[in-house]
Amino acid sequence: MKNFLKGIVLGFALILPGLSGGTAFLIMGMYKQILRDLAFFNLRPYITFAMGAGVGLLFWAFFLSHLLNEWPELVFPFLLGALWASAPLILKINKISFSPERGVYLLTGTCVGWILAVEPLATFSLGETKIFLVLFLAGLIASATMLIPGVSGSAVLLILGVYHDILLFLNSFELVPLAFFTAGCIGGLFGLARLLLLAYERYKGFFSYFTAGLILGSGRTLFPAQLNLSAIIAILTGAVLITLWSRKNLKRDQIQTEEREVTGMPTI
């Protein structure tokens, strides 16, 4: 039951842009062990946990979809605040100092995120087959990147332009597109995660600043048409929620310990 409840918490972290799956694993004390088990395909201990995550995803997707339908003028700014607040947290969690070179990475990522916000990946899907391919690729990328502490899988889906589609598919139980997305997620966890973590440890500065830039630029898709007082309050509420989530649950010495353990992971 404890693992099932942890899975529901993870479902919330996965569905809300700004909350990182990797950070959630850190908070629950599972980060090191789950990376080990993924590397060696040891899945049995996570069956109950995965069931809870599935229930959590369905519940939170239904809840968020309902809010988006009823109060889009508040929910979109709230998600924007949550998304933007996660950008500096990536740098804080991974303890990456600023340099002119990293400033270029940040600016480049922001420009790429802005361009993808104007013409997201999903807009290039002109047929059913291409839609399924986009969903597979989105799952592949989002599931792999979410294992990096501070990087939100939902934020990646927003950058790729498929976040709202995934919410819709979850809410309406459209099994075929969800099957392609799930297949991509599984492929990302077992095929790309270890490779990505190796690259991340070697080029941590580039990954952190470029990803933070992507998140900042992609916020264009959520920016409210009218920036009134209620929208500003919603943006600040989303930002505060994400900031408190990190500050309250992540102690600096815990993060440093976990980062050292992740550095040693590829040699296992």
Q: Tens digit of pLDDT for each residue in 27-49?
A: 566 766 777 777 677 778 788 88
Q: What's the pLDDT score for residue 232?
A: 93
> Which residues lie below 8 Å from residue 95, measured CB to CB, with a gap of 6+?
255, 256, 259
Average pLDDT in the 153-162 region? 80
Domain hosting residue 150, numbered range: 2-267
* pLDDT band with cut points at 50, 70 and 90 for residue 160: confident
Model confidence, pTM: 0.65
Residue 265 pLDDT more than 60? no
Q: What's the pLDDT score for residue 104?
A: 94
Average pLDDT in the 203-208 region? 84
Q: Tens digit of pLDDT for each residue in 248-261?
A: 655 544 544 555 55
* pLDDT band with cut points at 50, 70 and 90 for residue 233: very high
Domain count, the chain: 1
- What is the distance between the alpha carbons of residues 56 and 250, in angstroms, rounded to a whole number? 22
Q: What's the pLDDT score for residue 199?
A: 77
Residue 197 pLDDT more than 50? yes
Q: Tens digit of pLDDT for each residue in 72-112?
A: 888 889 988 888 887 887 787 777 788 899 999 999 989 98
Share of the chain above pLDDT 90, in %: 9
Q: What's the pLDDT score for residue 234?
A: 92
Residue whose tokens read 């998600």: 79
